[in-house]
């Protein structure tokens, strides 16, 4: 799959952009491209089924509702949730985690309760918890990762106190690429009666997710990271908890009855879906899940491991490079962050861009982690289904060129000779 990748042709953007200028896309952790099936499903919906949902009594509206609810069922199966009531469509992971903090956190956590998070979290899984600290006097216990960027269960175990009420961890780190042991964490938190929130934004494209197996209470991911349109995300929540949580947004669609004096909320999941939702986004998300399932996570993972091995081998040959994250390939998803002495990440990204190589540089919305690493920014190359071996060669050649331009001595060997 990595050489002459057979899935690449499913993604129209490569044919289009690649025809004008070489195009090597190594930023899927920020945004995955959409396969033709997703683009077609959204276009077909807009052309043939566009109508508001849950409202009309005419056939077109019923068909739109069916398409929207069918997407929810596809997501339910994808996450192996018990019921579609537990699948709430949000805009993205950020909105989903904010919903948990605003509804569950504000109503069921008390002053002096403690929340566990790791230092490696994306701001989306950090700031909603600092909000509770600032508003309610809840305490945050920050868990450090080890020197390989991995979470150690023993450090988490040590941090648990009788007042620890909630733990929020990513399944895959967007900077370190580390695949965190969420099943083990789920078991640990269940034993202590701690609510477990999983940020699966970077996991959804790379590893199978089974909310029952993890035993988490909440889990969130964003559609665009698995090839769906932007503006559609998912919050899984255990029905028992969602039932007792108040809605965050109030308005249309989320009510059963409204009088001037009071309102009664709709059933799950619509209680949390106020206003007209992103209907075509949900349809696109359903198509994206189907596309991934058609390929299978085993295939995705095998290809990623080959790319990861080659990328790490190539990068390790560069003088003055520091690569962040796990050294063991099976502990890492398709994300590699690095720094090269004397080269500012933004300079490197600009030079790579001249040759059509797209990488992400910056703090990747994980400033507490970068402060701890002692660097203001890192360079990040990330892969998905459409990447191939040649992309790694092009990255290496681009880095070589950047080092030459910036007059940094290099001993990057010709990768074609060493790593094919």
Ligand X SMILES: Cc1ncc(COP(=O)(O)O)c(C=O)c1O
Active site members: 365
Of residues 31 and 406, the one with the C-beta less far from ligand X: 31
Of residues 93 and 303, the one with the C-beta less far from ligand X: 93
What phi and psi, each to the nearest 5 degrees, are found at residue 321? -90, 145
Interacting residues with ligand X between 59 and 98 (CB under 6 A):
92-94
User: Minimum distance from CB of 98 to ligand X (Å)?
Assistant: 9
CA dist., res. 22 & res. 411, Å (int): 25
Rounded Cα distance, 288 and 282, in Å: 10
Sequence-distant (≥ 6) Cβ neighbours of residue 407 within 8 angstroms: none
Residue 337 found at the interface with ligand X (CB under 6 A):
no
> Coil, strand, or helix at residue 233?
strand
Helix 389-405 with 345-354: angle, nearest 10 deg: 120
Using the rule CB under 6 A, is 222 a contact of ligand X?
A: yes
Instruction: Examine residue 122 and tell whether it contacts ligand X (CB under 6 A).
Output: yes
| DSSP assigned state of 90 | E
CB of 92 to ligand X, least distance (A): 3
**Closer residue to ligand X (CB): 94 or 164:** 94
Nearest to 10 by CA among 204, 290, 420: 290
Cα(first)–Cα(last) distance of the chain, in Å?
14
Comparing CB distances to ligand X, the nearer of 49 and 236 is 236
Residue 28 as a binder of ligand X (CB under 6 A): the answer is no
CB 56 to ligand X: min, Å: 30
Q: Residue 15 and residue 58: Cα distance in Å, rounded?
A: 41
Token readout for 345 is: 């990440």
Residue 199 contacts ligand X per CB under 6 A: yes
Phi-psi label, residue 199: left if phi above 0, alpha if psi -120 to 50, beta otherwise: beta
Residue 295 burial (10 A CB sphere; 0-12, 13-18, 19+):
middle
Span interacting with ligand X, options 120-128, 158-166, 316-324, 401-409, rule CB under 6 A: 120-128
Nearer to ligand X, 10 or 27 (CB): 27
Residue 108 Cβ vs ligand X, minimum distance, rounded to whole Å: 23
Q: Which is nearer to ligand X, 132 or 402 (CB)?
A: 132
Binds ligand X (CB under 6 A): choice among 125, 180, 311, 410:
125
From the list 124, 180, 378, 410, which residue makes contact with ligand X (rule: CB under 6 A)?
124
DSSP designation for 104: I
Element (H, E) at 211: helix 211-214
Q: Which lies closer to ligand X via its Cβ, residue 1 or residue 176?
A: 176
Q: Specify the stretch interacting with ligand X by CB under 6 A; choose among 42-50, 122-130, 265-273, 298-306.
A: 122-130
Nearest approach in angstroms of CB 213 to ligand X is 20
CA torsion 330-333-335-337 (nearest 10°) is: -40
CA geometry: angle 157, 206, 322, nearest 5 deg = 70
- Which region among 5-13, 54-62, 119-127, 207-215 touches ligand X (by CB under 6 A)? 119-127
- Site residues for ligand X, 158-197, by CB under 6 A, read 170, 174
**Which residues are registered as beta bridge partners of 219?**
198, 236
Binding-site member from 98, 202, 378, 382 for ligand X (CB under 6 A)? 202
User: Which of 201, 209, 323, 348: binder of ligand X (CB under 6 A)?
Assistant: 201
Residues found near ligand X in the complex (CB under 6 A): 92-94, 122, 124-125, 170, 174, 199, 201-202, 222
């Amino acid at each position: 799959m990595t050489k002459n990748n057979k899935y690449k042709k499913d993604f129209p953007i490569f044919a289009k952009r690649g025809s004008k200028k070489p195009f090597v896309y190594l930023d899927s952790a920020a945004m995955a491209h959409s396969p033709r099936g997703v683009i077609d499903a959204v276009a077909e919906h807009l052309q043939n089924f566009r109508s508001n949902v849950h409202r009309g009594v005419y056939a077109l509206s019923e068909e739109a509702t069916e398409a929207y609810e069918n997407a929810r069922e596809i997501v339910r199966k994808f996450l192996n949730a018990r019921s579609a009531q537990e699948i709430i469509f949000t805009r993205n992971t950020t909105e989903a985690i904010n919903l948990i903090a605003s509804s569950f956190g504000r109503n069921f956590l008390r002053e002096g309760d403690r929340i566990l998070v790791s230092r490696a979290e994306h701001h989306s899984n950090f700031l909603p918890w600092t909000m509770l600290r600032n508003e309610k006097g809840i305490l945050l216990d920050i868990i450090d990762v080890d020197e390989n960027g991995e979470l150690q269960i023993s450090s988490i175990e040590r941090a648990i106190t009788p007042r620890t009420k909630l733990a929020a961890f990513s399944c895959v780190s967007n900077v370190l690429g580390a695949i965190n042991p969420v099943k083990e964490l789920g078991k640990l938190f269940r034993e202590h009666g701690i609510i477990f929130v999983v940020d699966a934004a970077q996991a959804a494209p790379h590893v199978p997710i089974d909310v029952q197996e993890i035993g988490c209470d909440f889990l969130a991911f964003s559609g665009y990271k698995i090839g769906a349109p932007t503006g559609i995300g998912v919050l899984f929540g255990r029905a028992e908890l969602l039932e007792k949580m108040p809605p965050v947004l109030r308005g249309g669609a989320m009510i059963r009855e409204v009088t001037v004096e009071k309102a009664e909320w709709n059933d799950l999941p619509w209680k949390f879906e106020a206003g007209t939702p992103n209907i075509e986004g949900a349809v696109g998300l359903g198509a994206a899940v189907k596309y991934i399932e058609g390929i299978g996570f085993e295939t995705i993972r095998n290809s990623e491991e080959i790319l990861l091995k080659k990328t790490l081998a190539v990068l390790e040959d560069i003088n003055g490079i520091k690569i962040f994250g796990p050294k063991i390939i099976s502990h890492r998803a398709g994300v590699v962050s690095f720094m090269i002495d004397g080269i500012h990440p933004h300079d490197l990204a600009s030079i790579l861009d001249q040759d059509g190589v797209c990488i992400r540089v910056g703090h990747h919305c994980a400033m507490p982690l970068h402060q701890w690493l002692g660097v203001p920014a890192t360079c990040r190359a990330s892969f998905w289904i459409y990447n191939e071996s040649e992309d790694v060669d092009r990255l290496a050649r681009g880095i070589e060129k950047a080092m030459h331009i910036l007059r940094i001595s290099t001993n990057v060997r010709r990768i074609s000779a060493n790593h094919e």
